[in-house]
Amino acid sequence: MKNAFIAMGSNLPSHVGTPAETLFAALHELSELGPIVSRSSLYCTAPIGFENQPAFLNAVINLEIPPQITPHILLRELLRIERNFGRDRSQEQPRGPRTLDLDLLLFGDLVLSTTDLTLPHPRLHERAFVLVPLAEIAPHLRHPLNGATMEQLLKKLKLQSGQVECTESGTWYR
């Protein structure tokens, strides 16, 4: 079994409700791919790039992947789940608002570069909205290319006040 770390984000309502409700419902669909080993708190994060949009809710989960699921199969499933919640990547503005965003960050210690998938995620170390929740659930996990732990990568990142904040409860929508 491999462990895959998946970043989750939402800042628009979907057919199931608010962004928090969307992430919770997506969590259920993700659990059908394999057991969820751990999940971070929910974090409210400011948009990057295209700033005229609502704040995002973000989280990271650690999913145990059965041997028959390859990284490309997992990516295909993540895109299918996004579509189930109303995301149409072909129609959206880059870095714009979305109902659901699922990014494959790590797949075990696999290093891969193909036309449709790069592992580890090429911007993992640059994104506070990924590193904060990832370091919460796996602080000692090492980046497969540079060997730094998630905690070390987070310390190198210059966080600004209010950039990534744990939601009031710090827990998932129930």
Does the structural domain 2-166 have CATH classification 3.30.70.560?
yes
CA pair distance 19, 13, nearest whole angstrom: 5
Domains of the chain by residue range: 2-166
Mean per-residue pLDDT over the chain, rounded: 91
**Is the entire prediction scored with pTM above 0.85?**
yes
Contact 43, 167 (CB under 8 A): yes
From the list 76, 80, 83, 87, the catalytic residue is: 87
Of 101, 109, 127, 174, which is the active-site residue? 101
Measured CA to CA, the distance from residue 132 to residue 40 in angstroms comes to: 9
3 within 8 A of 63, measured Cβ to Cβ? yes
Q: Which of the residues 39, 83, 88, 98 is marked catalytic?
A: 98
- Give the integer Cα–Cα distance in Å for 123 and 118: 10
Q: Give kind and range of the element (H or E) at residue 152.
A: helix 150-156
Query: Of 76, 103, 109, 142, which residue is the catalytic one?
Result: 103
Q: Which residues pair with 67 in a beta bridge?
A: none
- Residue range 4-32, pLDDT digits in tens: 999 999 999 999 999 999 999 999 999 99
What does the angle CA 96 – CA 56 – CA 162 come to, to the nearest 5 degrees?
120
Whether 87 sits among the annotated catalytic residues: the reply is yes
Task: Provide the token pair at 35.
Answer: 């057991």
Angle CA(64)–CA(66)–CA(71) in degrees, nearest 5? 85
pLDDT of amino acid 27: 96
To the query of whether residue 103 is one of the catalytic residues in this protein, the response is yes
- According to DSSP, the residues that pair with 100 across neighbouring strands are none
Q: Active site includes 127?
A: no
Is 109 an active-site residue? no
As a whole number of Å, the end-to-end CA separation of the chain is 29
- What does the pLDDT look like over 123-167, one tens digit per residue? 999 999 999 999 999 999 999 999 999 999 999 987 765 678 877
